[in-house]
Structure formats: C-alpha cells, structure tokens
Amino acid sequence: MHKKFTKLLLQWHLNENKREMPWKGEKDAYKVWLSEIILQQTRVEQGWTYYERFIKKYPAIKLLAKAKDEEVFKLWEGLGYYTRCKNLLHTARLISTKYEGKFPERYEEIIALKGIGDYTASAIASFCFDLPYAVVDGNVLRVLSRVFGNNTPVDSNEGKKIFTTLANKVLDKSHPGLFNQAIMDFGATVCKPAMPLCSYCPLNSICVAYKKGIVNTLPVKEKSIRKKTRWFSYFVFNANGKTLVRKRTGKDIWQNLFEFYLVETDSNPAWTKKSVKLFFENQFGAGDFEVTRIYSAESQQLTHQHIKGYFIDVYFNKIPEMLESESNTWIEAKQMNKLPFPAFINKNIRHQKMRPALF
C-alpha cells in the first residue's frame, strides 16, 4: 500500500496539481527558507505578498544580512510573531559570515540554524538539495492519518513519532522534493480539513478512512479535545426507514455512547442548503438526497467545554456506499430508544419539533 500511495500521489501531482505559488519549484535555498519562515504563522494568501516584497528588496541573502534592523522590521510589519523576523536576520548574518553567503547544504547544518525546525529543514533539504527528508506539517498529517486510517493523536509524542516514520516510509527517495510538494499540495487542495473532495480523490481506492466512513473523525488532535468551545454538526441520515448511528470509541467526551454522523469544525460552519449540498457532493459523490431541516442546536455546557452546533436532517433514496462501513449502524426508530445517547443529542432531538428550522 505504501508504494501505491506514493505512485498515485505523484501521478496526481504531475497530471492534476494546479496549485501555484511563487516559491514552488524553487531551488534557491535562500528563497525557500524565506518563504517557509514567512508561512510559519501566516496564510499562503497573505504570505505571498510579503514574500514578493522581500525578494524584490533583498534578492540575495547577503543583501538581507546587510540591511538595518528597522528596515527589515518595517517590511515585516503586519505579519506578527516578530521573533521570526529576529531569527531571520540573525540567520542571514550568520550564513553571510560563516558560510560566505552560501546556504549550507547538509541537513545537520540547516537544522542547527536559528529559527529552523524539523519541517523547515526538511523542506529546504529536499526542495533545494534533493536530500531524502520528509516534510511533516498539518496537511501531511491529515493525509496520512486518513489514507492509512490511523487515529493516534497527531499532536501527541507517540503520534509525532508514528507519522514522521510513516512520512519517511512513503517518501519517494529519488524525488524527495517533488514528493514533498505533492503531499503538501494534496492536503491543501483535496484532502482538506472540513470539506475534503473525497468523491473526486485519486486515493479513495486505498483510503482507509474513506472506506470506513470516518474521514471527518481524522486526524485526531489532543488539543481539539481540550478546547473550551467545540462545534458539533450532527447529520441525521435516514434511508429505507432506518437512521445511521455510530458509537464513540475514542478517548474523548461521551465515550461508548452513540451519536449520529458527526462533523466537528474549528468554528461555526453556518450551514445552508447550498453548503450542505456541496459537502455531500464533495465527500460522498451523492446527489440523490434531500435536506429537510437544519437546526441550530441548543448548546450544552460541560465541566470544561462548551458544545455548540447543528442538527441536519437528511433523507437518501438509497444508502451511499461510503456510509455502509462497519463503523456505521443503520437502525429502525424503535431501536433508537434502547441505545444510550449523550444529553446534547437527547435534548436537541426531543425539542427539535418545537424549534424553527433555519430555512
């Protein structure tokens, strides 16, 4: 499966990947390093503009090294996290003196530079010097977690070791830079956080999460579980007189209780008929369904968490193949009363007829 994953991903990258960025395919280590530092706490759209400004004013690392602190900080203005800018200047001056303005080519020397961690060092090493080091960022973790069906928390110590090992195992050692760019772009454009394009995904034939219908439960993050406010959107799927339920088995709230199909998001998804339709088309490839109601849930305050969200009633003419996995159970209404559900679900289902729908 590892070899097939690598092959399919590279095929997608060479034939379908249309994502454009000014530093993409760049071999100049200075430019790659600069782009990675800017993007550490910044969205690509915003970082793009800053990157172009920096390259225009300081096209070579020696010019950046000679610049006055005030000039560089002024150019950085608006990006925040100014420690990045301090480290940028420090490292530029070090390379200018110690390495005579030439970026070091060995991984061990790259990672020793101030402000550069595993991810940035791997990016520079693979993109610029074709060294076999896998990049492991949020996009990569999401892709690996879903395709290989691994629910180990990606932000745990165990998870970091497991996914770093896996990333290096699937890495194309002969074309590391090409592969790293491919998996990062794939996570950003196809295997997206809340609205992945599963039905169009070239990896869905080998994706464990897709086959088991657990795409939206992966990757698992310990920090998300500890959030004070969480957004739960419950899709109440109905087909052939039955309703889909699944058991909560992870180390989280409501363990061993039952629930409907859950999509957890970082913020209010503000569902509409249009966005629900898009979600289903992207994830299930399903067009034969009807969204009958969208309810804004009555929130629930737990000891350390505030649960908010939505309940969305959906009727299928037939059960989508993705929802026939072993993690899902389709039951009749009379069986529903025999299963234990969290109070959040019971309260909202009990009162849903009393509350107006959002459309």
Catalytic residue set: 36
Strands 229-239 and 306-316, how do they pair?
A: parallel
SS3 42: coil
Q: What are phi and psi for residue 30, nearest 5 degrees?
A: -60, -45
222: Cα separation from own chain's centroid: 14
Neighbour-count burial of 161, counting CB atoms closer than 10 A to its CB (0-12 exposed, 13-18 middle, 19+ buried): exposed
Name the CA radius of gyration of the chain, rounded: 24
Sequence-distant (≥ 6) Cβ neighbours of residue 356 within 8 angstroms? none
Residue type, 161: K
DSSP 324: G
CA 125 to CA 123: how far, in whole Å? 6
Q: Could you give the maximum distance between any two Cα atoms of the chain, in Å?
A: 77
Tokens representing 185?
Answer: 């772009």
DSSP 226: T
